[in-house]
A = this chain, B = another copy of it.
Amino acid sequence: MTTERLDLARYADEITGQARRAAAELSLMTSGAKDAALGAAARAIRDSAAALKAENEKDLVAGRTAGLSTALLDRLELTDRRIEDMAAGLETVAALRDPVGEVITGWRLPNGLRIQKVRVPIGVILMIYESRPNVTADAAALTLKSGNACILRGGKEAVHSNLAIARILQKAIAEEGLPAAAINIVETTDRALVGNLLGMTGRIDLVIPRGGKALIARVASESTIPVLKHYEGICHTYVDEGADLEMAEQICLNAKVQRPGVCNAMETMLVHEKEAAAFLPRICRSMAAAGVELRGDEAARTICPDMKEAAEEDWSTEYLDLILSIKVVKSVEEAIGHIGTYGSGHSDAIVSRSMESIEKFTEGVDSSAVFVNASTRFNDGGQFGFGAEIGISTDKLHARGPVALEELTSYKYLVYGSGQLRE
Which of B113, B205, B258, B368 is the one whose CB lies under 8 Å from A378?
A: B113
Asked if A115 is an interface residue, CB under 8 A from chain B, the answer is: yes
- Contact: A413 with B396, CB < 8 Å? no
Q: A247-B419, A413-B370, A422-B378 are in contact. Are A397 and B363 (CB under 8 A)?
A: no
Interface set, chain A 250-279, CB cutoff 8 A to B? 250-251, 254, 258
- Contact: B224 with A370, CB < 8 Å? no
Interface set, chain A 134-152, CB cutoff 8 A to B? none
- Contact: B221 with A224, CB < 8 Å? yes
Asked if A32 is an interface residue, CB under 8 A from chain B, the answer is: no
Closest to A217 in B: B201
Closest to A340 in B: B24
Q: A420-B374, A422-B383 are in contact. Are A401 and B414 (CB under 8 A)?
A: no
- Contact: A367 with B397, CB < 8 Å? no
What distance in Å separates the Cβ of A212 from its nearest Cβ neighbour in chain B? 18
Q: B-facing mask of A394-421, CB < 8 A → 1, else 0?
A: 0111101100000000111111111111
Give the CA-CA distance A375 to B254 in the complex, in Å. Answer: 57
Copies, count: 2
Asked if A132 is an interface residue, CB under 8 A from chain B, the answer is: no
Give the CA-CA distance A415 to B367 in the complex, in Å. Answer: 12
Complex contacts, A378 vs chain B, CB 8 Å: 113, 415, 417, 420, 422
Give the CA-CA distance A254 to B412 in the complex, in Å. Answer: 22
What distance in Å separates the Cβ of A167 from its nearest Cβ neighbour in chain B? 29
Interface of A is mostly: mixed
What distance in Å separates the Cβ of A100 from its nearest Cβ neighbour in chain B? 10
Give the CA-CA distance A330 to B398 in the complex, in Å. Answer: 39
Interface set, chain A 13-37, CB cutoff 8 A to B? 24, 27-28
- Contact: B250 with A372, CB < 8 Å? no
Which of B254, B366, B411, B419 is the one whose CB lies under 8 Å from A244?
A: B419
Chain A, interface size category, equals 35 or more
- Contact: A362 with B226, CB < 8 Å? no
What distance in Å separates the Cβ of A224 from its nearest Cβ neighbour in chain B? 6
Complex contacts, A372 vs chain B, CB 8 Å: 414-417
Q: A396-B122, A397-B398, A412-B400 are in contact. Are A250 and B369 (CB under 8 A)?
A: no
Q: A397-B206, A397-B226, A411-B400 are in contact. Are A421 and B375 (CB under 8 A)?
A: yes
Asked if A379 is an interface residue, CB under 8 A from chain B, the answer is: yes
Complex contacts, A396 vs chain B, CB 8 Å: 122-123, 205, 410
Asked if A220 is an interface residue, CB under 8 A from chain B, the answer is: yes
Asked if A6 is an interface residue, CB under 8 A from chain B, the answer is: no
- Contact: A371 with B415, CB < 8 Å? yes
Complex contacts, A417 vs chain B, CB 8 Å: 371-374, 378
Q: B-facing mask of A342-371, CB < 8 A → 1, else 0?
A: 000000000000000000001110111111
Asked if A67 is an interface residue, CB under 8 A from chain B, the answer is: no
**5 pairs from A and B in contact (CB 8 Å cutoff):** A107-B385, A109-B384, A115-B384, A371-B415, A373-B420
Q: Given A254-B422, A384-B413, output 4 extra A-B contacts at Cβ < 8 Å.
A: A122-B397, A371-B417, A374-B416, A383-B422
